[in-house]
Amino acid sequence: QVQLVESGGGLVQAGGSLRLSCTVSGSSFSIKTMGWYRQAPGKKRELVATISSAGTTDYTDSVKGRFTISRDNAKNTVDLLMSSLKPEDTSVYYCNAIFRVTTSRNVEYWGQGTQVTVSS
C-alpha cells in the first residue's frame, strides 16, 4: 500500500551537485518526519538528513553545509539537494518516512534506494 519511490541518483564528479527526490504515496496518515539515509557496502546505514512536518531539519555532521533537505507536505515529497559532493558520499541513498498512525504510535517505511556515485 505505502510506497516510497526515489529518483535522481546517478554518477557525478567530485564537486558536483545532485538532487534526490522521493515521493510517498498510499497512506492517509500524516507524515511525521521524512528523511534520507545512506548505506555503503560493508557499512551500517546512517542518517543523512531528516525534516519534520514543521520543517525542522537535522543533518549528520559530514554533510552540514553541503546538503539541504526539503519537503512539500501537499505533494508528500522530500528532496535532498547535494552539493560539493565528495567520493565518500558514494552510497545507496534511502528515503524514509515516519507516519503518525495514532498519537502514540508511529509506523516507518523505506524506499528501495537509489545509487549515488561520486567519482574523483
DSSP 38-78: EE-TTS--EEEEEEETT--EEE-GGGTTTEEEEEETTTTEE
For 88-109, write each residue's pLDDT tens digit.
999 999 999 999 988 899 999 9
Mean pLDDT, all residues of the chain: 95
The low-confidence residues of the chain, meaning pLDDT below 70, are none
What's at 76, amino acid-wise? N
How would you classify residue 52: left for phi > 0, otherwise alpha for psi between -120 and 50, otherwise beta? beta
